[in-house]
Amino acid sequence: MAGEATEAGSVHIANDVVEVIAGFAATEVPGVAGMSGGLVGGITELLGRKNLGKGVKVDITNGVATLDLYLAVEFGSRIPDVAFAVQQRVKHAIESMTGLQVREVNIHVQGVTFPPESSSDGGGPPPDRG
């Protein structure tokens, strides 16, 4: 838990709060399909907005944060560009909202999502010719 003492008392920011800020900031970046819950039985699970902090690991020592984000990117996105944009947005969001210094934002791409197939392309089963 991050904390800061002031004349009026102390302020403590729970790691869970930092995780949610990081997860929300990451999902705002174009090309990010969502936060990943990790590998479960060999399948990457994408988490919804209510679980944004679950794809984030935070370590705070002496007011300095190190983060690991696990995410999936959209097919066709240039992964290095998406990762860099996530690093910048997450660093800015955490530093501006919490006052913590961010040392590292490590990105772990756990998967790639593909757009859903449209039903207008004839993607259904072939017609019965029998």
Task: Tell me how many degrees the CA angle 129-117-74 measures, rounded to the nearest 5.
Answer: 155
pTM: 0.77
Tokens 């990105």 belong to 107
Q: What is the pLDDT of residues 17-72, one digit of tens each?
A: 999 999 999 999 999 998 887 544 334 455 555 566 778 999 999 989 999 999 99
77 within domain boundaries: yes
The dihedral through the CA atoms of 24, 30, 33, 36 has a sign that is negative
Q: In CATH, what number is assigned to the domain containing residue 15?
A: 3.30.70.1350
63 within domain boundaries: yes
Q: Beta strands 32-40 and 9-13: pairing type? A: unpaired
Q: Beta strands 64-74 and 56-61: pairing type? A: antiparallel
Q: State the Cα–Cα distance between residues 33 and 71, nearest whole angstrom.
A: 7
**Which one is predicted more confidently, 61 or 115?**
61
**Residue 35 domain boundaries:** 2-114
128 within domain boundaries: no
